[in-house]
């Protein structure tokens, strides 16, 4: 028998009219996100404070490349992200040196353990999804922005590295599902026309994304996150996922436009900087109401376009939760 929060998400997925909208916000926990126990403690405290309907586990992006030797440092970024100091791939020949990793060891092992602790701590009350970066996103963290030139000038080397990265993250997805995650939150960064053509993404991105999602189908609630501006929304919305999240207030399509182009759950409605960080509770409530109206109260999880700033006022988070729940 499912929990009330799972039942609410399933009703949203079925497109049923809802008495209240599900709501989920997520943030980074800098410094705490480098170890399993501290990330789990921070995530569980955040969840117990706000009682979200979905727990998105948010390790720092460095978790996906630290075991390949990438070094980073926390320098106070308001999103909670770390500064990259040294990449593993410094020249195209280095792609051939990317090796398989054991996802039960090192930083990857820490994050599998964090997922296990969080799932156990939530006690099945709210479904948990683990952030997994798409293989081409991982390659970007390994190389930096030079990856765009490399995939055009050295496609075979890039494809070789993507194969290894994908095999590692197929194992990682299986591991987090095995410890009880409901699915994954597949974060896709390079699927934007500002970086690549659609033809390039279909070659270097989509096949590898779909391999991770094929493993994730063992779960029941997978979320696709399309990051940034000018995203390849229709390409990504065709992926086999239950929900899609993007910066709907900043880049097309709007929630209303997306409702006609995706049968699953839309996640969004709130601007994390202009409204949640710098706005008032009244501004937050107005955006939630507008989001509900755009989709006629169906198939929506109230959320932000991405992680909320670590300094987001508590009153604005409270306003989002209360507005979604009709309080």
Distance CA 297, CA 16 (A): 9
Confidence of residue 114 (pLDDT cuts 50, 70, 90): very high
The larger pLDDT score, comparing residue 247 to residue 3, is at: 247
pLDDT band at 247 (very low <50, low <70, confident <90, very high): very high
Nearest to 42 by CA among 55, 54, 24: 55
**For 17-27, what is the mean pLDDT?**
95
pLDDT of residue 19: 86
Structure tokens at 203: 């070659």
**What span, in angstroms and rounded, lies between the C-alpha atoms of 65 and 27?**
20
* Section 71-85 average pLDDT: 97
Cα separation of 210 and 138, whole Å? 15
Distance spanning both ends of the chain, measured CA to CA: 27
Burial 23-52 (b: 16+ CB within 10 A, else e): bbbbbbbbebbbebeebbbbbbebbeeeeb
For residue 1, pLDDT beyond 70: no
With a threshold of 0.95, does the pTM exceed it?
yes
Q: What is the largest CA-CA distance in the chain?
A: 58
**pLDDT category, 124, cuts 50, 70, 90?**
confident
Q: Is the pLDDT of residue 11 over 50?
A: yes
- pLDDT value of residue 232: 98
- pLDDT by residue (tens digit) across 191-228? 999 999 999 999 999 999 999 999 999 999 999 999 99
Q: Where are the domains of the chain?
A: 4-324
Work out the average pLDDT over 237-256.
98
> pLDDT grade, residue 282 (50/70/90)?
very high
Contact 244, 262 (CB under 8 A): yes
Q: Look up the CATH architecture of domain 4-324.
A: Alpha-Beta Barrel (3.20)
Q: How confident is the model at residue 123 (pLDDT cuts 50, 70, 90)?
A: confident
């Amino acid at each position: 028998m499912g929990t009330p929060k799972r039942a609410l998400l399933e009703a949203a997925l079925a497109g049923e009219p809802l008495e209240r909208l599900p709501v989920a916000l997520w943030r980074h926990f800098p410094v705490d996100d480098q170890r399993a126990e501290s990330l789990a403690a921070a995530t569980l405290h955040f969840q117990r404070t706000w009682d979200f309907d979905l727990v998105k586990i948010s390790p720092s992006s460095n978790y996906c490349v630290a075991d390949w030797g990438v070094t980073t440092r926390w320098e106070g970024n308001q999103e909670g992200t770390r500064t990259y100091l040294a990449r593993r791939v410094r020249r195209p020949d280095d792609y051939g040196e990317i090796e398989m990793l054991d996802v039960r060891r090192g930083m990857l092992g820490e994050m599998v353990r964090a997922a296990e602790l969080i799932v156990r701590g939530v006690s099945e009350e709210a479904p948990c999804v683990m952030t997994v970066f798409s293989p081409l996103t991982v390659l970007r963290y390994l190389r930096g922005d030079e990856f765009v030139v490399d995939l055009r000038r050295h496609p075979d080397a890039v494809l070789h590295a993507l194969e290894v990265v994908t095999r590692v993250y197929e194992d990682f997805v299986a591991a987090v599902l095995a410890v009880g995650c409901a699915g994954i939150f597949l974060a896709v960064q390079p699927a934007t026309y500002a970086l690549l053509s659609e033809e390039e993404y279909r070659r270097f991105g989509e096949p590898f994304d779909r391999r991770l999602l094929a493993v994730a189908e063992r779960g029941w609630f997978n979320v696709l996150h399309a990051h940034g501006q000018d995203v390849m929304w229709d390409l990504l919305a065709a992926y086999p996922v239950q929900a899609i999240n993007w910066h709907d207030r900043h880049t097309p399509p709007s929630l209303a436009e997306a409702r006609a182009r995706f049968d699953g759950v839309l996640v969004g409605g709130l601007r994390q900087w202009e409204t949640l960080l710098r706005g008032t509770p009244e501004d937050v409530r107005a955006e939630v109401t507008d989001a509900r109206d755009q989709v006629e109260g169906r198939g929506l999880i109230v959320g932000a376009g991405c992680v909320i700033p670590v300094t987001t006022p508590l009153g604005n988070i409270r306003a989002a939760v209360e507005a979604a729940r009709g309080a």
